[in-house]
Structure 1
Amino acid sequence: MAEDALETIPRELLAPIANLSIHVEDFPDEETEREMELESPFDLLGLYRGVDMTRQSVADLRSGPDMIFLYRRPILDYWCETGEDLFAIVRHVLIHEIGHHFGLSDEDMERIEAMEG
């Protein structure tokens, strides 16, 4: 479903993410839970890990690709609680995390989704 949702994201967001890796995990790991100060692993639907494009430098030594994590169980729990379309939820989380890769604000991401929706 994440791959299908990725196909619907505007091309201007996808062009510069060749080195961005997308992972689907059941839950955030314990380190992420502590780092994000989560009360529950269900509190996080997705996460961007990396250096956003506004802070990258050609002089930076990169330890690996930037990554987006989609957390399957929290997404499914959110879907059950809200009744929203599951595909729309996955797409929303992807857009939000890709937006963090670009250094976009939440308002910028909402505007992009509204244009596409």
Structure 2
Amino acid sequence: MRTGDAPLAALAALEAPSLEDFERLGEIAYAALPDEFRSRIAEIEIRVADFPDEDALDSLGLESEFDLLGLFVGIGLAHAEAVPRTGGTPNRIWLYRRPILDYWAEHEETLGAIVTHVLIHEIGHHFGLSDEDMEAIEAAAGEE
């Protein structure tokens, strides 16, 4: 093997991040959020799956399982007082590995940055923000 082939050999040996790797990326992204932001988040689980299930796709009117990178499931803080919590599942953020990897392959962002963006976006839903609200906030932040 020539000296210059070592980096190529290392690349050839790479494997796609596993579900466990993504779970760890989500934990790292969550831990890196400012304390003030995290302190306002009620208990929430971060879960990872390869793809969203059919119910999630149907409820959002999506045709392709690659159209959804993440999903907040539960009762957001804006609705918590109006909807009593009696049993049921905890608030949960889903990160979808395969759609995120697909997005990553087509864009010039790091995988960590994409996972962080998706996580923050879904936390925004936990706070009761709509997609339009978050797009406006991101646009305003980009103008400054």
Question: TM-score interval w.r.t. the shorter chain?
Answer: 0.7 to 0.9
Q: Which amino acid aligns with 1:16?
A: R
What TM-score results when the alignment is normalised by the length of structure 2? 0.70
Q: 2:44 aligns with which of 20, 23, 41?
A: 20
Deviation per CA, 1:62-93: give whole Å up to 9, x if none: 42211100000000000001121111000000
Q: State yes or no: 1:87 paired with 2:108.
A: no
Q: State yes or no: 1:44 paired with 2:68.
A: yes
Name the CA shift for 1:41/1:59 in 2 (closer, same or farther; >3 Å).
closer
Percent identity between the two aligned chains? 49
For 1:91 and 1:80, locate their aligned partners in 2 and report how far apart those are by CA, in whole Å.
16
List gaps (5 residues or longer) in structure 1. Answer: none
RMSD (Å), alpha carbons: 2.1
Q: State yes or no: 1:35 paired with 2:35.
A: no
| Residue of structure 2 in register with 1:98 after alignment | 123
The DSSP-based 3-state class of the residue aligned with 1:69 is: strand
Number of aligned residues = 113
Larger Rg: 2
Q: Which amino acid aligns with 2:56?
A: T
Q: 1:64 aligns with which of 70, 86, 89?
A: 89
**Alpha-carbon distance, 1:6 to partner:** 1.1
RCO higher in structure (CA 8 A, sep ≥6): 1
Q: Answer whether contact 1:13 1:98 (CA < 8 A) is retained.
A: no
